[in-house]
């Protein structure tokens, strides 16, 4: 898998996180996964606020793309994207 430049890998409790900094006009991006279950809301929230710089002033969102653009390479992974100009 090719990662965006500057992406860092984190272990967050039982979860694995890929955290990518702003790139090509897009904001922060966090992928959070668990080997055996969905990450909980508390794990997602806590990871976003702990790992994304200046997260108290950023809006993170889970977005469902158009069905034709939907890709899921891991069954227990969620994507959080920073919303810019919201």
Q: Which long-range contacts (CB under 8 A, 24 or more apart) does 45-48 make?
A: 46/12, 47/10, 47/12, 47/15, 47/17, 48/80
Please, which residues have CB within 8 angstroms of residue 23's CB and are 6 or more apart in sequence?
Answer: 4, 5, 6
pLDDT, tens digit (0-9, with 9 covering 90-100), for 8-67 = 999 999 999 999 999 888 899 999 999 999 999 999 999 999 999 999 999 999 988 888
Q: What is the mean pLDDT of residues 59-81?
A: 89
pLDDT of residue 24: 85
pLDDT of residue 5: 87
pLDDT of residue 76: 95
Q: What is the pTM of this model?
A: 0.88
pLDDT of 1 > 70? The answer is no
């Amino acid at each position: 898998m090719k990662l965006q430049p500057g992406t860092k890998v984190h272990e967050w409790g039982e979860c694995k996180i890929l955290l990518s900094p702003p790139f090509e006009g897009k904001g922060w991006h966090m992928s959070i996964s668990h080997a055996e279950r969905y990450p909980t809301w508390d794990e997602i929230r806590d990871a976003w606020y702990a790992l994304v710089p200046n997260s108290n002033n950023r809006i993170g969102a889970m977005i469902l793309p158009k069905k034709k653009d939907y890709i899921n390479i891991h069954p227990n992974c969620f994507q959080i994207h920073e919303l810019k100009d919201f």
